[in-house]
A and B are shown apart, each in its own frame.
Chain A
């Protein structure tokens, strides 16, 4: 079952949820991931309890950034420019796409590492539409691209795709036959071969950012697959798309943030933490600086607002800007464990999805689906940033009730 578009209508979403309750593959995929997650997350926090302390520190840091966003935004922009990056602030999704269009142009080969904000601005589809060849390089996101669907979790996007379906997608969409496809290793090997070729020849690499240090302009990315290192390191142009809420004051804060994010989705220690500071360069010959030694010669950073600045002024929604997008609230939510990202909004799913939908598309847009929240508070309990997700969703229910004249 492929979910191509997620509706914001209660009845549509409920219909789709009830449909997937009858889809054994989908259910099995979620169940396996949830079981693994429950086991691993317990291990991570038993072994590394100091992560709770780090989360608390980041929570406070992010609160202060939210209250002084303009200061930190200016600081980050200045720091990144100083290091040779081209920095842009995009007010809307459309602005962001337009900026990227100007950087990329047409008939290019583009490789992307998984980024929820790229999903938010519909970047891959847009780049394809204007005449580029675009490939996702995160395995899960790549499979989602092949099925022309929607990621079902921000970190584990293909949570709903079984090995059988993955092999079938490769064969049907790319003509790649996987020998002995019962072995997941064989599927991974074939995807690696296919994507290596694309990455090697790509004109542009596009990534997100897990955190950005305002003091240095350093961009932090966390991953296991190694695709981010290649996407951000091999093509001659690298574009970073990110939300302004990813800015934190310092390198140390940025490091703590990625640690907390990785741990809360039970990927700990993460295989790689990538830190990018400006485009690649060398001054080895006569101290003359030349950009593009082995890495990209251009680095473009698009800082996206898309409703975030308005949220800064909102009593409830501003709380969501502390989100590190670990997606733990999803995987712990009893409704999400049935629905996956079918519930939440067109981009972000689950409890955080409802609130991010309110930020990026408007409160009224998110308000109908808010009524599928149990108010059980499990999301709040596990959220490393202690975002009162259930209370914010309750506020959105109130927005719906007012809009429909249920309460005067």
Chain B
């Protein structure tokens, strides 16, 4: 059973000390972009917020929390945070490949529409979503100032995000914490859709698969990103099916509860997957958290894939 205080302390203390909420090796978070040789400064920065890269660490994290429950129960999180080197989690290799593939797809899709993007590589920081959602406000405030400063120092006027949490944090939350916030934030889905509408982006091949879309809560309810992914998929020939709870009434995958109460998050994910699989065995997600939560409970014949995989098939 979760020790709430201890897990929250861990997320807080690790974020403060290392910029990421869990003990992960930083080099592994940007290795996906090494062979793309993107510039490290520029007016338009591709910001990943570290979320896709954390996917392969979720299971090792749960295991880590379990094994160290005695330390957690004693509240010795400080001890854990200070012996960071010994605690670094090992990512799951198959998921590392998936997450790297998604990020590569996104970068290539943007380069394909002649978008000049820079990437911060080792300077990139976590988006702070867990800090915000868990009400760790002081740490979030400090953290997001740091993220903003690094983006500005790198010349950012426009930031392209790859997931709903980074989009929401940078576009809707950060301006509440930072005075004179002047970075324009767009999700890559919005950028690609704009290019589709003005004719720059065209599918290279049509894929006539039937797929069911799972809207992420933040895109659908808070960032107005509902039609754009559907248009991108439908233009590419996909037949997009709508589950009973979709668009603004989309149903959570279990979300952030995964990191504090995986057993409950699993129940919620099961409810959602049972709605989705009724319509198609091919489920499209647009968020790394949805991807991992739904994937964990999906029956073997149900395939969960990130939207970038579907877009890459048609547009690259």
Contact = CB atoms under 8 A, between A and B. Distances in A.
A378 B136 contact: no
Interface stretch (B111-119, B230-238, B263-271): B263-271
A406 interface: yes
Contacts of A377: 217-218, 221-222
B249 A378 contact: yes
A304 interface: no
Interface in B47-65: none
Interface string B2-43: 101100110010000000000000000000000000000000
A300 interface: no
Interface string B133-171: 111111100000000000000000000000000000000
Interface residues of B, number: 37
B164 to A, nearest CB: 11
Contacts of B248: 381
Contact of A378 (B133, B252, B263): B252
A334 B268 CA distance: 6
B272 to A, nearest CB: 8
A14 B7 CA distance: 15
Consensus secondary structure, chain A interface: helix
Nearest to A371: B4
Contact of A14 (B1, B133, B252, B272): B1
Given A38-B244, A334-B271, A376 B9 contact: no
A372 B261 contact: yes
A38 B251 CA distance: 13
Which of A10, A368, A380, A382 has the most chain B CB atoms closer than 10 A to its own CB?
A10
Contacts of B250: 378
Contacts of B98: none
Nearest to A398: B135
Interface in B124-138: 132-138
Which of A11, A381, A395 has the most chain B CB atoms closer than 10 A to its own CB?
A381
A21 B1 CA distance: 16
Contacts of A381: 221, 248-249
B297 interface: no
Contact of B137 (A14, A17, A374, A407): A407
Contacts, number: 100
Nearest to A399: B135
A391 to B, nearest CB: 10
B221 A14 contact: no
A288 interface: no
A15 interface: yes
Contacts of A335: 257, 264, 268
A222 interface: no
Nearest to B140: A407
A378 B261 contact: no
Nearest to B4: A10
Contact of A374 (B4, B139, B255): B255
A11 B138 CA distance: 26
B91 interface: no
B260 interface: yes
B71 interface: no
A399 B136 CA distance: 9
A376 B255 contact: yes
A63 interface: no
A18 B263 CA distance: 8
A397 B138 CA distance: 13
A18 B244 CA distance: 26
A219 interface: no
A371 B268 contact: no
B302 interface: no
Interface string A305-342: 00000000000000000000000000010110110000
Contact of B1 (A15, A398, A399, A400): A15
A294 B5 CA distance: 59
B257 A374 contact: yes
Given A378-B221, A394-B135, A407-B139, 7 more contacts: A332-B249, A376-B217, A377-B217, A377-B218, A396-B135, A401-B136, A404-B5
